[in-house]
Amino acid sequence: MQTFGAQVTPSPSMSTRAGKDILTRTPNHQGSLGTAISEAVELAMTTPNCKYTLGSVLSHVTLHQTVIGLEAEKQMAMAGEYPDTVIACFGGGSNFGGIAFPFMRHNIKDGKKTEFIAAEPASCPKLTRGVFQYDFGDEAGYTPLLPMFTLGHNFMPANIHAGGLRYHGAGVIVSQLMKDGMMKAVDIPQLETFEAATLFAQAEGIIPAPESAHAIAATIREAKKCIETGEEKVILFNLSGHGLIDMTAYDQYLSGSLQNYEVTDEDVAKNISELEKVI
């Protein structure tokens, strides 16, 4: 971004009221998508002719991304295959929903039995360990309340390299589908994601983004289950980005300096207990 002339301000910053409040409460705050959204919304509200485009947690963005799944559906048909399992990484929901929803409609309308798995970080496990309730989409509480699986808008995720997945809540549509048992989720430790990413790079010649590597790790888990059971499955996963700007993260993994982060049950319970209950 700076190469093309942009001024980049890491969030949380001292340039907005929301950022100042966050840093006053927690001076060493590592930042998250939730903090960045708060600052971006405030900037849009206070700057003339400035607009803010909402992100993946909102339904229209997720539905826009379904062009990915529609293309994958046609590609599978060209190959003469249909997925038994569809997997994608999960931050707010657009990546997962984008590839899963077009196939999920056939489960609903045509009786297909495809399984859908969202792969999220073990350090930010909103689907596997969060609660379903109304919550804000940002840390400062500027956004409307949304019914979602959440760890709490004040949740501070660990500073893992899959930055796009460091978000406290899940999109409204995905949250409802999770609640209705139409899909499931797994949480993946950071080291397992890079192990899977390295294996994929060696096999396919493509270095995946750390976010995408969560889906790869979940796919490897499912493939290993098939080896154990002798069952044959067609597994489709979304390789949502390359990791060529994440070489520092790979260098840290290969040098052995990366570590896993996992949220304790006590931390989750404490954070959720601080949320306002909306009936």
Residue-wise pLDDT for 194-236, tens only, equals: 999 999 999 999 999 999 999 999 999 999 999 999 999 999 9
* Amino acid code (one letter) for 207: I
Q: How far apart are CA 122 and CA 124, in angstroms?
A: 6
Least confident of 98-107, 156-165, 209-218, 233-242: 156-165
Q: Is the pLDDT of residue 188 over 90?
A: yes
- Taking the C-alpha atoms of residue 177 and residue 59, their distance in angstroms, rounded to an integer, is 13
List C-alpha distances in Å: 15 to 10, 12, 21, 199: 10, 9, 11, 42
pLDDT at 46: 94
pLDDT over 70 (residue 18): yes
Rounded to two decimals, what is the model's pTM?
A: 0.93
Quick check: 107 and 113 in contact, CB under 8 A?
yes
Domain extent listing, the chain:
59-273
CATH class of 59-273: alpha beta
Q: What is the DSSP string of 102-154?
A: HHHHHHHHH----EEEEEEETTS-HHHH-EEEEEESSSSS-SPEEEEEES-TT
Give percent of the chain with pLDDT exceeding 70: 99
Comparison of pLDDT for 28 and 55, the residue scoring more: 28
Helix (H, G, I), strand (E, B) or coil at 31: coil
Q: What is the maximal distance between C-alpha atoms in the chain?
A: 62
CB of 232 closer than 8 Å to CB of 82? no
